[in-house]
């Protein structure tokens, strides 16, 4: 079997939303009005912590696809002021969110136990104000949300190969700034983090053979497998990886922005930043290279996301091990593309209608388990009730 990224087609039912005249779609999608539609037409469950489980109307997969969003749309009206990553979530909310994550991931592994048949993944993305505000790539919902997705590997194998030069597939490998110029610095920095459950993957062991991805990203095996997701320690280490990434990203792009810039404020690991980054010639040489190009190349400078931009996910590899990985540069790829899956969504109500009953049945079962664990209250929509 030839390995390479795949492009699959996922059908969806066109969404009956009217964008007010004079607004761009990405402006409307950040509004409270749009989030109300998300609740009333696609909402599955919500809770007092503000966490909303919903069906993805524009999904990645019609096999299994759902998300949890930290819905602050009515309490924080400024889209740029909303929490957009795990480190910004209050501890009591994160505790509930982690429990929800575990229950849904356990369900996916139970429903799809064979790693040869299904690709299972869950994760979240940075939705900071990291794009130019006029860019079409500005997030459609500027609030923290995560994804739970399952792909049928037979469908992936039958799908055509994706264009390997697609910029959304270049988060790692030879195209990545971190990978090409700071690989050893980056990995040495992560090696100093206090991890017990997460263990660095052996070279090549984390890749999905079908796609050959992820490429070039540091990855960690979850020792203990799914049982470790029940441990508070696992989620603390999941956050440690994110905090380390944020420190590295902010430090590097701070040096790109301003030569010999001081340590960023409020870093999580100041001793590591000082010892492993601010005194490292390879990192500072790479920063100078990027800074010089920004000064002379307006298009290149405009494309940089100056604040931490990342995708972080948990997925199951071909051997059935759970793997954690995190993206490492300023390219705005979709979360599935870290694993070499490009999703082309097409409006096709009939095709979606054929897949919808089985998909919704699974989502309602997940909801029942969350309600039983006192993690929320069921929501009724035109498509399902609250039984």
Over the chain (387 residues), the average pLDDT of each successive run of 10 is 90 82 73 78 95 92 95 82 88 96 97 98 76 54 86 96 79 61 89 96 87 88 96 97 95 95 96 96 94 91 80 94 84 78 93 96 98 98 89
d(CA 264, CA 303) in angstroms, rounded, equals 22
The reply to whether 383 falls in a domain is: no
Q: Is the peptide bond before 354 cis (omega within 30 degrees of 0)?
A: no
Predicted confidence at residue 332, as pLDDT, reads 54
Predicted confidence at residue 144, as pLDDT, reads 85
d(CA 154, CA 134) in angstroms, rounded, equals 39
The reply to whether 386 falls in a domain is: no
Predicted confidence at residue 302, as pLDDT, reads 77
Please report the sign of the dihedral spanned by the C-alpha atoms of residue 56, residue 57, residue 58, residue 64: positive
- The count of domains in the chain is 1
The reply to whether 384 falls in a domain is: no
d(CA 379, CA 385) in angstroms, rounded, equals 7
Predicted confidence at residue 96, as pLDDT, reads 97
Domain that holds residue 322: 6-378
The reply to whether 385 falls in a domain is: no
Burial class (CB in 10 A: 0-12, 13-18, 19+), 292: exposed
d(CA 11, CA 349) in angstroms, rounded, equals 7
The torsion angles phi and psi of 116, rounded to 5 degrees, stand at: -75, -20
For residues 152, 155, 157, 163, the Cα torsion angle rounded to the nearest 10 degrees is -110
Predicted confidence at residue 172, as pLDDT, reads 47
Q: For the stretch 258-275, what's the b/e string if a residue is b when 16 or more beta carbons lie within 10 angstroms of its beta carbon?
A: eeeeeebeebbbeebbee
Segment (H or E) for 357: helix 349-372
d(CA 148, CA 109) in angstroms, rounded, equals 11
Q: How many CA atoms lie within 13 A of 198 on its CB side?
A: 26
The reply to whether 387 falls in a domain is: no
Predicted confidence at residue 176, as pLDDT, reads 67
Please report the sign of the dihedral spanned by the C-alpha atoms of residue 32, residue 34, residue 35, residue 39: positive
The tokens for 283 are: 């990192």
Strands 51-55 and 64-70: antiparallel
d(CA 41, CA 57) in angstroms, rounded, equals 9
d(CA 50, CA 72) in angstroms, rounded, equals 7
Helix/strand/coil for 136? coil
Q: Residues near 91 by Cβ (< 8 Å), separated by ≥ 6?
A: none
Instruction: Give the chain's length.
Output: 387
Predicted confidence at residue 232, as pLDDT, reads 96
Q: Between the CA of residue 137 and those of 65, 86, 130, 142, 332, what are the distances in Å?
A: 22, 21, 10, 12, 8
The reply to whether 151 falls in a domain is: yes
The tokens for 30 are: 């950040």
Strand order in the sheet with 51-55: 198-200, 219-222, 322-326, 311-316, 118-125, 145-152, 64-70, 51-55, 43-46, 377-378
Rg over alpha carbons for the chain, rounded to the nearest Å, is: 21
Q: Residues near 374 by Cβ (< 8 Å), separated by ≥ 6?
A: none
């Amino acid at each position: 079997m030839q390995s390479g990224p795949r492009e699959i087609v996922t059908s969806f039912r066109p969404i009956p939303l009217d964008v007010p005249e004079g607004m761009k779609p990405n402006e409307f999608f950040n509004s409270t009005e749009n989030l109300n539609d998300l609740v009333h037409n696609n909402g599955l469950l919500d809770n007092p912590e503000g966490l909303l489980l919903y069906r993805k109307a524009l999904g990645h997969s019609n096999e299994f696809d759902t998300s949890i969003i930290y819905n602050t749309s009515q309490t924080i009206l400024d889209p740029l002021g909303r929490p957009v990553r795990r480190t910004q979530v209050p501890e009591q909310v994160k505790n509930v969110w982690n429990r929800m994550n575990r229950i849904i991931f356990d369900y996916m592994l139970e429903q799809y136990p064979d790693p040869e048949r299904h690709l299972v993944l869950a994760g979240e993305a940075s939705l900071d104000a990291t794009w130019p505000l006029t860019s079409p790539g500005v997030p459609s919902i500027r609030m923290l949300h995560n994804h739970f997705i399952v792909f049928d590997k037979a469908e992936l194998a039958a799908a055509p190969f994706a264009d390997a030069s697609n910029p959304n597939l270049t988060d790692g490998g030879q195209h990545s700034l971190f990978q090409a110029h700071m690989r050893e610095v980056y990995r040495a920095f992560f090696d100093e983090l206090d991890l017990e459950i997460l263990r660095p993957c052996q070279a090549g062991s984390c890749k999905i053979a079908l796609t050959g991805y992820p490429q070039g990203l540091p990855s960690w095996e979850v020792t203990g497998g799914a049982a470790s997701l029940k441990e508070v320690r696992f989620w603390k280490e999941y956050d440690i990886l994110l905090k380390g990434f944020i420190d590295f990203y902010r430090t590097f792009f701070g040096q790109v922005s301003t030569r010999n810039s001081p340590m960023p404020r409020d870093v999580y690991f100041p001793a590591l930043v000082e010892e492993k980054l601010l005194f490292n010639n390879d990192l500072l040489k790479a920063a100078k290279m990027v800074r010089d190009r920004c000064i002379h190349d307006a298009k290149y400078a405009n494309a940089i996301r100056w604040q931490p931009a990342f995708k972080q996910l948990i997925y199951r590899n071909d051997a059935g091990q759970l793997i954690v990985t995190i993206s490492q540069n300023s390219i705005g790829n979709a979360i599935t593309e870290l694993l070499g899956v490009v999703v082309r969504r097409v409006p096709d109500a009939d095709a979606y209608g054929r897949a919808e009953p089985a998909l919704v049945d699974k989502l309602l079962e997940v909801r029942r388990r969350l309600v039983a664990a006192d993690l929320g209250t069921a929501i009724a929509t035109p498509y399902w009730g609250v039984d």
